[in-house]
Amino acid sequence: MVSHTLPALAAAIASVANSGFGLMRPGSAGFRVRDERPRDVEAREALLDRGFGPARFTKTSERLREGRLPAEGLSFVAVCGGAIVGTLRFWSIEAGRHPSLLLGPLAVESAYRSAGIGRALIEHGLKRAGKLGHGSVMLVGDAPYYARFGFSAAPVSRLVLPGPVDPARFLGLELVPGALAGASGRVVGAGLLVSRREPEPLRLAA
């Protein structure tokens, strides 16, 4: 678990949100990133619904996640004042013949944005992924945001996702140099399949 202090601006936003919508608790001075727990699922799903809307289930990335569990040890939430204010999970995939991870969905509660929560989730997640022995991560997202973490289109330029995607938004990162060298071909989901008896996921995130 990692704790962070919110910048003054975010604290000001928090106090406004507090008075109007109860999104933040009075006196909340920071957030922490921790592993997701089973009881976080409902709040996480509601946060993703607010962040992405119904389109979350139509995304090409979802084709790699549907019917599967997230990668072991790689589901995180950001918590502030007892509330789930951010979520990030990673998923096992095969990229060509290279084992890899898909990053996402990433979402931060709107009143808490630009306070470093997204960055903290990604940095925490990438560090954990490296510790767990994963060599690379890919995602579909905005390059201007993800470039700051080292993601670029080059490592995945010869890989094909299972659906339409803007090539400028398909990005990869090698955690281990050379992990994606020569990677080409189809990207497919490789995570454990959801058991019918599993309570989670009720609906998989986009």
Ligand X SMILES: CC(C)(COP(=O)(O)OP(=O)(O)OC[C@H]1O[C@@H](n2cnc3c(N)ncnc32)[C@H](O)[C@@H]1OP(=O)(O)O)[C@@H](O)C(=O)NCCC(=O)NCCS
CA gap 6, 43 in Å, rounded? 21
- Residue 63 in contact with ligand X, rule: CB under 6 A: no
State the DSSP code for 194: P
Residue from 13, 33, 69, 117 in contact with ligand X (CB under 6 A) = 117
- Residue 145 in contact with ligand X, rule: CB under 6 A: yes
- Residue 156 in contact with ligand X, rule: CB under 6 A: no
The site map against ligand X for 87-116 (x = CB under 6 A) is -------------------xxx----xxxx
- Residue 125 in contact with ligand X, rule: CB under 6 A: no
- Residue 141 in contact with ligand X, rule: CB under 6 A: yes
Centre a 10 Å sphere on the Cβ of residue 196 and count the other Cβ atoms it contains: 5
Q: 156 near 61, Cβ under 8 Å?
A: no
Binding window for ligand X (CB under 6 A); candidates: 34-42, 62-70, 91-99, 117-125: 117-125
User: 206 Cβ partners below 8 Å, 6+ apart?
Assistant: 48, 52, 55, 56, 57, 58, 59, 61, 62, 105
Q: How far is the CB of 177 from ligand X (least distance, A)?
A: 25
Q: How far is the CB of 109 from ligand X (least distance, A)?
A: 8
Centre a 10 Å sphere on the Cβ of residue 69 and count the other Cβ atoms it contains: 19
Most distant CA pair in the chain, distance: 54
The site map against ligand X for 15-54 (x = CB under 6 A) is ------------------------------------xx--
Cβ proximity to ligand X, 9 vs 192, nearer residue: 9
Helices and strands in the chain: count of H runs, count of E runs: 4, 9
Residue type present at position 106: L
Contact residues for ligand X, defined by CB under 6 A: 51-52, 106-108, 113-119, 141-142, 144-145
